């Protein structure tokens, strides 16, 4: 046992958020807490980490447990650089490395016995702490969290909110606590970083407690699910799809039991009313006691939360070509986002646009809609296209207007119609009159979607519409988009939503776009499938790449050469890694006869060779991939 929670209760005024929450987490267990927005998930995490006090109940950690907590809004030290902040997680190991380097210099020039003894002792600690990989791990984790080499010296005070969250997560991963508590860890992560984090969590030797609305992330990480509903927690075995099935079956059983109980209560009530003042009064009184006892212990049917009950209709038909990009390129401040992009969206197609953070997805959308001018090439909308645009985090909304005012004045709706539409998107009562700046992120997103529903566009362009939406709202949004009969362009990191509603994929990476005639799940499978035929591979949406200077025969020869080079490099890397493992084994059992300084220097040389070989291998793999794309063009 690493954490035990017993009968936890918490209220804010008359609102009881948690009532009788109990659960435990064992060593190395990966557990997810799920529930609608507002059910108390973040409150529960804050109680576990001591940021808030519970009204009653207990929270008990195993003795000596080290806990790390990633908040939705994480803080970092503003006086450090990105690299310095991450290195704090491995500070003790890096300080050991610096002291060992000083001692190595002394060992070369008449070392004393104290120097030899200190070096041997520190080296043992250094090896046990996996110090040889400390600096490499810091840079590797930062890279996986989306930081480039030239951003490592950037002051943390200059980072955006999303970058600070990614940096805080990187530091926590490097600290390797016994229990890692993550609140919406995939916020601000692109798909590559999210998929890497999934693998890291699965192989992590500590325990993980996470809160997330990302279905794919939960499916790939959680071994057990804790559902927080009506202030209580119920535990289900994972993975997530199994939880959904078990919960649905349980709710169906409870609903049936509740129905039968109510039928029995109704029959008893009818008997009592008919015979309470008759010759059967005694029997009626007996039935009434039975009815009251049954009503007091009756099972309540599971409550179904309200969902969005609205759709978006395409007003009229557009031309066959909805969006056309020709040799499109864009750059900001000398930094190229993408170039030579040829991309055509035809009527009825449903495109998912993915890519790393900063790759230019939102910029591409704005170029298509004419909000920005391209650096080169052109982007245009087709004939009779009426585009509806959802900007990321609904940033186009006036914060001082109310939702009702927005629909009346900005969307030309009559107040009764506007109120009705807002209600269908779960914005009702006083919420319709509050300033938009006081709404939650999810409520702002729902308002923006309501405005799109009124607009009735035949091209729907959505930029991260699931930000701030809970799982049920995401499911409702998927239903809305499935019913939509226009053309769809969806920029999203939500893999489940992409799989549900898209049938084409554009991946923006490395200055170019990669096109695939399938959803994101199918695209990933094609990329990872060994021995895939050229027709199955994604193709580069780049004019110059589709017109190779080499003949098909020359391309085939180059592919054979590249494949041999990659195979040879893999053998060399395998050999060097075996040598490194053998040397590390020797360092772990060093004897008095061994030259410790020589062994340490040899360890560094092998690591350097492996790093160079990996760089060469990666470059050759990219070249091979490019050649295969040229062959399949």
Query: Is pLDDT larger for residue 17 or for residue 560?
Result: 17
pLDDT(430) > 70: yes
Residue 545's pLDDT band, with cuts at 50, 70 and 90, is very low
Cα–Cα distance, 534 to 531 (Å, whole number): 9
Query: Is pLDDT larger for residue 307 or for residue 139?
Result: 139
| Residue 117: C-alpha distances to residues 113, 129, 556, 585 (Å) | 6, 19, 60, 20
User: In 3-state terms, what secondary structure has residue 321?
Assistant: strand
pLDDT(72) > 90: no
User: What's the rounded mean pLDDT across residues 606-617?
Assistant: 80
pLDDT(309) > 70: yes
Q: pLDDT per residue over 142-157, tens digit each?
A: 888 888 888 889 998 8
pLDDT(314) > 90: no
Percentage of the chain modeled with pLDDT above 90: 39
Ranking 17-21, 442-446, 581-585 by mean pLDDT, the lowest is 581-585
pLDDT(164) > 50: yes
Cα–Cα distance, 492 to 504 (Å, whole number): 13
Return all residues near 95 (Cβ < 8 A) that are at least 6 apart. none
Ranking 69-78, 90-99, 197-206, 504-513 by mean pLDDT, the lowest is 90-99
Strands 376-381 and 232-237, bridge-based pairing: unpaired
Domain 321-540's class?
alpha beta
Query: What is the predicted pLDDT for the residue at 123?
Result: 65
pLDDT(77) > 50: yes
Between helix 161-175 and helix 191-203 the angle, nearest 10°, is 20
Query: Is pLDDT larger for residue 371 or for residue 583?
Result: 371
**Among positive and negative, which fits the CA dihedral 419, 421, 422, 426?**
positive
CATH 3.40.50.300 fits 43-242, yes or no: yes
User: What's the rounded mean pLDDT across residues 66-73?
Assistant: 80
Query: Is pLDDT larger for residue 353 or for residue 178?
Result: 353
Residue 131's pLDDT band, with cuts at 50, 70 and 90, is very low
pLDDT(71) > 80: no
User: What's the rounded mean pLDDT across residues 103-127?
Assistant: 71
pLDDT(16) > 80: yes
For 552-603, what is the HEC assignment?
Answer: HHHHHHHHHHHHHHHHHHHHHHHHHHHHHHHHHHHHHCCCCCCCHHHHHHHH
Ranking 37-46, 128-137, 429-438, 594-603 by mean pLDDT, the lowest is 128-137
pLDDT(96) > 90: no
Residue 543's pLDDT band, with cuts at 50, 70 and 90, is very low
Q: Which of 172, 178, 167, 125 is nearest to 145 (CA)?
A: 167
Percentage of the chain modeled with pLDDT above 70: 90
């Amino acid at each position: 046992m690493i954490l035990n929670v017993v009968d936890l209760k918490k209220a804010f005024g008359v609102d009881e958020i948690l009532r009788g929450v109990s659960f435990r987490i064992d060593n190395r267990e990966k557990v997810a807490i799920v529930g609608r927005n507002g059910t108390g998930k973040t409150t529960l995490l804050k109680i576990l980490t001591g940021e808030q006090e519970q009204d009653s109940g207990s929270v008990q950690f195993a003795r000596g447990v080290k806990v790390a907590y990633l908040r939705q809004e994480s803080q970092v030290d503003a006086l450090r650089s990105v690299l310095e902040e991450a290195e704090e997680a491995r500070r003790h190991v890096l300080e050991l490395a610096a002291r060992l380097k000083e001692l190595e210099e002394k060992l070369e020039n008449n070392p004393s016995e104290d120097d030899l003894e200190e070096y041997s002792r520190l080296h043992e600690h250094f090896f046990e702490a996996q110090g040889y990989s400390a600096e490499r791990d810091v840079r590797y984790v930062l890279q996986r969290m989306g930081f480039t080499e030239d951003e490592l010296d950037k002051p943390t005070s200059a980072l955006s909110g999303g970058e600070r969250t990614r940096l805080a997560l990187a530091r926590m991963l490097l600290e390797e606590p016994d229990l890692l508590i993550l609140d919406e860890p995939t916020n601000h992560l692109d798909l590559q970083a999210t998929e890497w984090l999934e693998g890291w969590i699965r192989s992590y030797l500590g325990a993980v407690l996470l809160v997330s609305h990302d279905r794919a992330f939960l499916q790939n990480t959680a071994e057990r699910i804790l559902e927080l509903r009506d202030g209580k927690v119920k535990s289900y075995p994972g993975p997530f799809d199994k939880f959904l099935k078990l919960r649905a079956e349980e709710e169906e059983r409870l609903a049936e039991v509740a129905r039968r109980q109510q039928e029995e209560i109704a029959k008893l009530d009818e008997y009592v009313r008919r015979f309470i003042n008759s010759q059967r009064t005694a029997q009626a009184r007996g039935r009434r006691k039975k009815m009251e006892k049954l009503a007091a212990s009756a099972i309540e049917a599971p409550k179904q939360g309200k969902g969005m009950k609205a759709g978006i209709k395409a007003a009229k038909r557009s031309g066959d070509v909805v969006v056309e990009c020709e040799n499109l390129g864009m750059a900001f401040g000398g930094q190229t986002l993408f170039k030579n992009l040829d991309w055509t969206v035809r009527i009825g197609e449903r495109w998912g646009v993915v890519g790393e953070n900063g790759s230019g997805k939102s910029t591409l959308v704005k170029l298509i809609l004419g909000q920005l001018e391209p650096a080169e090439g052109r982007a245009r909308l087709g004939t009779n296209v009426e585009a509806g645009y959802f900007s990321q985090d609904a940033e186009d909304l006036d914060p001082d207007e109310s939702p009702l005012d927005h629909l009346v004045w900005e969307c030309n709706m009559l107040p009764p119609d506007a109120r009705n539409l807002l209600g269908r998107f779960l914005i009702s009562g006083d919420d319709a009159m509050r300033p938009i700046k006081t709404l939650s992120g999810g409520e702002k997103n729902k308002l923006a979607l309501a405005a799109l529903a009124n607009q009735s566009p035949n091209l729907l362009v959505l930029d991260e519409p699931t930000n701030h939406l809970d799982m049920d709202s995401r499911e409702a949004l998927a239903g809305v988009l499935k019913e939509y009969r226009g053309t769809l362009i969806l920029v999203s990191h939500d893999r489940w939503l992409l799989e549900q509603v898209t049938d084409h994929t554009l991946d923006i990476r490395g200055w170019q776009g990669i096109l695939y005639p399938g959803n994101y799940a199918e695209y990933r499978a094609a990329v990872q499938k060994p021995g895939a035929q050229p027709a199955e591979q994604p193709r580069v949406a780049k004019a110059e790449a589709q017109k190779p200077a080499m003949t098909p025969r020359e391309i085939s020869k180059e592919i054979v050469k590249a494949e041999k080079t990659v195979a040879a490099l893999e053998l060399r890397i395998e050999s060097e890694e075996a040598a490194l493992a053998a040397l590390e084994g020797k360092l772990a059992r060093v004897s008095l006869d061994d030259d410790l300084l020589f062994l340490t220097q040899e360890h560094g040389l092998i690591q350097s060779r492996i790093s160079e070989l990996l760089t060469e291998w990666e470059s050759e793999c990219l070249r091979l991939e490019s050649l295969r794309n040229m062959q399949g063009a």
